Each structure stands twice: as structure tokens, then as C-alpha cells.
Structure 1
């Protein structure tokens, strides 16, 4: 019996992932023919995916071209307000509902991620996996759906806060505090630990953006 091939990603998921990992950054122009060649697909599903991403405000028009959207200061602040509350709720529910196996996975993630401190891009990907695991551990499908939307918009930020010097080590310490609270089934502490974590990340991102503007 032959090994089953992994399912091929659809055009929408492929383009979204490319934006999420930084292959396409805010301001980059997306061309149907180039995308079709990159992902080995016909132009029809690519066109439909681009229309869907535009509807979700992940792409915007620049004349006749579609470009990856960007977030201004106010949009970023609004996104972080929503993210902070929803992530805090996810941690609270994870402290209430997570299985012992799910808690162990979270701890293993923190332990494993220490090896990535010198690689901000890899650490950013690991960070997304860690937060996604907390979302799933909340065992609330509607909350997971809303957080997926929030994190989709997070892909429109050109840099990761984990790129700031020393931020990776601090973030992992914050992750450990979140896992400790979930392990202890302390809902209030888990909620506060994750909200504080997002707040510090937001401050760090604001500083990075300010520094980038000073260099222009």
C-alpha cells in the first residue's frame, strides 16, 4: 500500500500562508500569473482566492493592481485591543478545560522554543503555534474562529516584535508564566498572564515602528 500524499493546499490557504511567513509583505504586488506558477495552479482558483482576500481587507487596490494591505497606527491599536481580550479569554478557558495532554504540549513548546532564541523568524512561527495551541485548548470553537480572524490580520504587520533585542527571551518567560497558570488551573492568573504578554508585545512593536520611521 502506497503512502497517502498530504492534501494539497488550496489557493487561498497558499497565498495566506505566504503572506503570514513574510514571502509577500505589506505593499507587495500580487500577480495572478506569478502566483499560479509559484503554487502550480491554474489562474482561476488564484483569481478567486485574490478576490476573497480582497474582500477580507488583506489585499487592497493600487490602481488596477492588488497589493498586500498594511495597517496604520490606529488599525494596529484597534487590532491589539481585540486580540488582548480574546487571547486572555482563551487562556482563562484553557485553564478551565485543557486536558493534561494539552497542558503538556504547551510546556513542551516552551522548552523546545528556547533553542530558537537566535532565530527571530523561527521563533515567530513557534510563537504562532504556541498561541494557536492555547486557542484550541480553550475548547470553544467560536472563540477559535474569531482568533483565527485576528491572527490573519496580524500577518499584515511587516515585522515581528520578537525581532527586538532581548524580546525573545522575555517572551518565553511570559509563555512559561501562562503555562504555569494553566497548569495550576488558575483562570484569573492565566487571563492576566496572557493579557500582559500581549500588552508587552504591543509596546515592543510600537517602539520598533517608531525606530523604523526615524530611519526613513
Structure 2
């Protein structure tokens, strides 16, 4: 369906920063860019507005970035939901309901994320980090949590894209991922939930007040 195609392509352009926060978009321009009629573009923009990525502005829309207070709230909800999905994934692992291949895939994407982050490949690191957390949500098998997290991740990604920078302590971030992996793999739900919640809130705190690089972070 053309509306779904338009929505997917526009969402990708917004998340990649091709259309940054504050950019004004019109149906006519977007229809030309996507090589399709204005009707599916119009419907796609309505869907993106419902997702919180754009807002109506005159004859078009404007790409939205969350204000700092709203971003804080988004991270708080994300922390709660990622704690839940980590807990559920660990419970399912303890009960033997996660296939070994799915667990291996989670370990593999964690390793890829650590490598991309350490090498300063920011775009790859953002994409892989999101895949890591999405994979945990998928292992939790809670579709409502997964859908809500996808929307939150979109809003957070758009709102923080301009300030994207290499983490001052990439080894610390990778270490948090490893501890989370260990708790899920070991089937320890309470520990997994606590680590996931702390990891998300630490990410927000670090973005607000970046620490000075340590010796381990210097090349």
C-alpha cells in the first residue's frame, strides 16, 4: 500500500536526519521526492503526526523535537518499559521459552554495537544499539510494550540526533549491555529489570552532563 510505503520512507528520512527538527515539509515537495501522488503522502503525514514526529503547520508539517522536560518524561517511560521487557525476557529464558538461536542473535548484536561504538561509527552505533534493545523487547513477547517503545525510540532519536557524539565512556556503556545480557541469559528477571532501568536513566543523565573522558576512552 502506497501510504505504508510513504510513511516508512518519510520516517526513515526523519530518523536519519535528512529532515531535521524544525524542517518544514509540504505534501507537494514530499510527493515529488517520493515519486508518488499527494494522497498517500497526506495520509502518511497524518500517521507520523499521530506518532509525534511531525505537527501540522500551515499548508504542511514541521518535524518535531521534544522539549527537555518532555524528553525527560520520555526517558522515564522508556526506562520503565525496558525494565519490563528485560524482566519478561529473563523470565522466558528461565522457563526455557527462548530459542538458543534467538539468544545468540542478541549476543551478536551486542558485540556489533560495542565494536561500532568503540570505533566511533556513530550512525552504525545508533542503529545497532536500537536493534539490541528491540531484540530484548521481542524476546519479551509483549507486543504492546514493543509498539510503545518503538514510538518512544523514534521521538528520542529525532530529538537527540543533533547532539549525537561519541560516548565519553563507551566501555561503560558496553559493560552495561554485557551485564544486562548476563542477567537475561542467566534467567534473573529482577536483576535484568534493575540493570535495564539504570542503563536508560544513565543514558539520559550522561546526555545532560557528559563526563570527562577517562584513560580507557582515549585512543
Is TM > 0.5 for Structure 1 vs Structure 2?
Answer: yes
Relative to the length of structure 1, the TM-score reads 0.84
Cα offset for 1:161? 7.2
Of the structure 1 ranges 79-88 and 112-121, higher mean CA displacement relative to structure 2 is found in 112-121
Q: Which residue does 1:179 correspond to in 2?
A: 181
Q: Deviations over 1:82-132 (max 9, x none)?
A: 100000000000111141222211111122223312111210111111111
5+ residue gaps, structure 2, are: 211-219
Structure 1 stretch displaced more, 76-85 or 164-173: 164-173
| Alignment coverage as a number of residue pairs | 202
Pairing partner for 2:197 from 181, 195, 198: 195
1:148 and 1:192 map into 2 onto residues whose CA distance is: 21
Shift of 1:65: 3.6
Aligned counterpart for 1:136 among listed residues 132, 135, 138: 138
Deviation at 1:41, TM superposition (A): 2.1
Q: Is the 8 A contact 1:114 1:172 kept in 2?
A: yes
- 1:160 is displaced (CA, Å) by 7.3
Cα distance, 1:63 vs structure 2 = 4.0
Q: What does residue 52 of structure 1 align with?
A: 47
SS at 2:178 equivalent = helix
Q: Which residue of 1 aligns with 2:128?
A: 126
Equivalents in 2 of 1:72, 1:162: separation in Å?
A: 16
Q: In structure 1, how many angstroms separate the alpha carbons of the residues matched to 2:135 and 2:159?
A: 22
More divergent stretch after superposition (61-70 vs 129-138): 61-70
TM-score of the aligned structures, taking structure 2 as reference length: 0.83
Structure 1, unmatched stretches of 5+, are 1-6, 209-216
Could you say which residue in structure 2 is the equivalent of 1:213? Answer: none
Q: 1:96 is matched with which residue?
A: 91
What is the aligned counterpart of 1:170 among 142, 162, 172? 172
SS at 1:10 equivalent: helix
1:166-205, CA deviations, whole angstroms, 9 ceiling, x for partnerless residues? 2433222211111111111011111111111101100122
Mapped partners of 1:176, 1:169: distance in 2:
10
Q: Which moved more, 1:191-200 or 1:113-122?
A: 113-122
In the alignment, is residue 20 of structure 1 matched against residue 22 of structure 2? no
What's the Cα RMSD here?
A: 2.2
